[in-house]
């Protein structure tokens, strides 16, 4: 079995409560993966945290040479932070995961097994999730709507958690679009893909960092980045209303000529005007979503800005498993 160097990319935004447990569980999992790992790096992307997250990560850095900390100049958002981490990843494969431990690190061995079987993209798909009430209904509604609207085959009920081969990472890093939906981008790239199932857990500590508005923007990025159907549906709706209006106008004209039920009124024209006005505003709103994204692309601003990158100050980066060091030393031949 080929041994690989693995990169683990974790965006961090005000997660100081959960970081100790996260690090403990990841190290425990990596120790159990000795047969398939040669070396590893854990890339924490500090996405403008205002709590003590950076201080804690800096302490970890002093004791573990495998840790890399990328400090962004401000909070650029979840997807941008992941993109920053992937741009720095040097492993033969990379696993992207959130810091809140809702996506369990214990799934990593199953992903590595799939990679060794030849799959270049391993997606962690949720069998169940812990959200309840309105939030769960909105998630289900989004995935149903996204599955219907998407122009590309994208795995549903899956977030960013998953493994990408080096070739997938390189191609993903070439994509420069600003409004990013990484679960869609990695599937759009292609290559051999498989799914591993898991049950999404509760947050290990702290409160969710994604507000409802952020989740809505994330959903809009997904739909408007991977589908032209809203434009086509608005065109179809306009054609349907136009045909219905012409038909209704013809019926009214015939009734007036035959003097059948000719009662001057207010209700019919008022309802018609309000209905058509609402449809027009919906169409303009859909166009605005696409135009806004075009505007972002035209400006060509960077997806993220790195303040600094912190690495171990040691003279030599040690391997995960010391017994493998001799095999990696140059032979002089």
Which tens digits make up the pLDDT trace of 261-277? 655 664 567 567 766 77
What's the pLDDT score for residue 197? 87
- Alpha-carbon distance of 163 to 36, in angstroms, equals 14
Half-sphere exposure of 44 (CA within 13 A, CB side): 32
Instruction: Indicate the CATH number of 4-227+302-328 among 3.90.550.10, 1.10.10.10, 3.40.449.10, 3.90.1300.10.
Output: 3.90.550.10
Bridge partner residues of 6 (DSSP) = 40, 93
5, two tokens? 């160097």
Q: Which residues contact 112 (CB under 8 A, 6 or more apart)?
A: 4, 6, 33, 36, 37, 93, 163
Are 320 and 39 in contact, with CB atoms under 8 Å apart? yes
What's the pLDDT score for residue 235? 67
What's the pLDDT score for residue 122? 92
Q: Which residues of the chain have pLDDT under 50?
A: 266, 315-333
- Alpha-carbon distance of 9 to 83, in angstroms, equals 9
- Does the pTM surpass 0.85? The reply is no
Q: First and final CA of the chain: distance in angstroms?
A: 25
Q: Where are the chain's structural domains? A: 4-227+302-328, 229-299
Are 11 and 45 in contact, with CB atoms under 8 Å apart? yes
Cα angle for residues 266, 267, 269 (degrees, 5° grid): 75
234, two tokens? 């608005």
Spacing of C-alpha 59 from chain mean position: 29
What's the pLDDT score for residue 85? 92
Nearest to 150 by CA among 52, 231, 228: 228
- Alpha-carbon distance of 226 to 288, in angstroms, equals 16
What's the pLDDT score for residue 44? 94
23, two tokens? 């690090």
């Amino acid at each position: 079995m080929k041994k690989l160097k693995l990169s683990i990319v974790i965006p961090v935004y005000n997660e100081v409560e959960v970081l100790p447990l996260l690090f403990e569980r990841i190290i425990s999992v990596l120790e159990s993966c000795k047969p398939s790992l040669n070396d590893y790096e854990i890339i924490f992307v500090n996405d403008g945290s205002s709590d003590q997250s950076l201080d804690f990560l800096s302490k970890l850095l002093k004791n573990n040479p495998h840790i890399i900390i990328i400090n962004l100049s401000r909070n650029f958002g979840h997807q941008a932070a992941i993109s920053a981490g992937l741009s720095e990843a040097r492993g033969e494969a990379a696993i992207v995961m959130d810091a809140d431990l809702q996506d369990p690190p214990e799934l990593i061995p199953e992903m590595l097994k799939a990679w060794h079987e030849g799959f270049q993209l391993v997606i962690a798909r949720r069998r169940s999730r812990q959200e309840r009430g309105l939030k769960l209904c909105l998630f289900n509604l989004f995935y149903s709507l996204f599955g219907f609207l998407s122009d590309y085959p994208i795995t549903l009920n899956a977030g960013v958690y998953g493994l990408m081969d080096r070739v997938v990472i390189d191609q993903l890093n070439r994509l420069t679009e600003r409004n990013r939906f990484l679960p869609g981008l990695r599937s759009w790239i292609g290559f051999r893909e498989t799914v591993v199932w898991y049950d999404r857990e509760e947050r290990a500590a702290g409160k969710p960092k994604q507000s409802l508005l952020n989740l809505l923007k994330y959903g809009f990025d997904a739909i408007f980045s991977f589908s032209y159907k809203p434009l086509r549906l608005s065109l179809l709706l306009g054609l349907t209303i136009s045909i219905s209006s012409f038909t209704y106008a013809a019926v009214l004209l015939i009734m007036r000529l035959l003097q059948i039920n000719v009662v001057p009124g207010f209700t019919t024209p008022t309802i018609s005007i309000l209905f058509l006005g609402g449809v027009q505003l919906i169409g303009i709103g859909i166009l605005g979503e696409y135009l806004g994204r075009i505007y972002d692309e035209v400006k060509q601003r960077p997806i993220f800005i790195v303040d600094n990158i912190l690495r171990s100050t040691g003279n030599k980066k040690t391997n995960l498993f010391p017994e493998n060091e001799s095999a990696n030393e140059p032979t002089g031949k």
